[in-house]
Amino acid sequence: MEFMENWQTIVKEKEYNDRLIEWNKKINLVSRKRTNILDLIEESKLFFDAIEFKDRVNILDLGTGGGLPGIVIAIHHPETNLMLIDSIQKKVNVVNDIIKKIGLTNAKTICTRTEELAKIAEHKNKYDYVVARSVAVLQDLCKWSKDLIKPQGKLITIKGGNFQGELIAAKKLLYVKEIKVKEIEDKAIITVSF
């Protein structure tokens, strides 16, 4: 049974790669020069280390773009509920198409800005985790996420390059309780507790 589940996951990853690259020719979702996104899929798996997966955990993918990391999480963890948001409708349309075509039943989308989502009662303090990849500076991610995350929830993001200034700024925010940084090669997984 485990072999079949692993095989289905690999097939869905490949299908996701192919569909995103096809869409990328029409709408800029990742670099136009890319012929595949397999490295971005692998990078999205770095989020797995920071998430405690259990049934019905609610995860918000903030600024999903072409569905990274949300679709990858949904493929590997069907027990989770994912909400993928982006403020650009054509990107949300692409993600909706991909979700439908690869048969993900645990992922949904909303086209809105994060600041607006926090004003909608059903989303306030709903999420166990907010994940974000290549969206904004850490202090902005904290500000946008704080009202969406449940008590004891976490914001998780991946940063590369020099992000020390962002860490300093985020640590000064009164609502940030703790920031953990885990370095992996040339990237860092940053986990913020509120």
- H/E segment holding residue 164: helix 164-171
Nearest to 20 by CA among 59, 86, 63, 65: 65
Q: How far apart are CA 1 and CA 112, in angstroms?
A: 39
Q: What are the chain's domains? A: 38-193 (3.40.50.150)
Cβ-contact 189, 46 below 8 angstroms: yes
Neighbouring-strand partners of residue 178: 193
CB 158, CB 47: distance < 8 Å: yes
- Label residue 103 exposed, middle or buried (CB < 10 Å: 0-12, 13-18, 19+): exposed
Full pLDDT tens readout for the chain, 194 residues: 555 568 789 999 999 999 999 998 888 887 777 777 888 899 999 999 999 998 889 999 999 999 999 999 999 999 999 999 999 999 999 999 999 999 999 999 999 999 899 899 999 999 999 999 988 999 999 999 999 999 999 999 999 889 999 999 999 999 999 999 999 888 999 999 99
With contact defined as beta carbons under 8 Å apart, do 41 and 74 qualify?
A: no
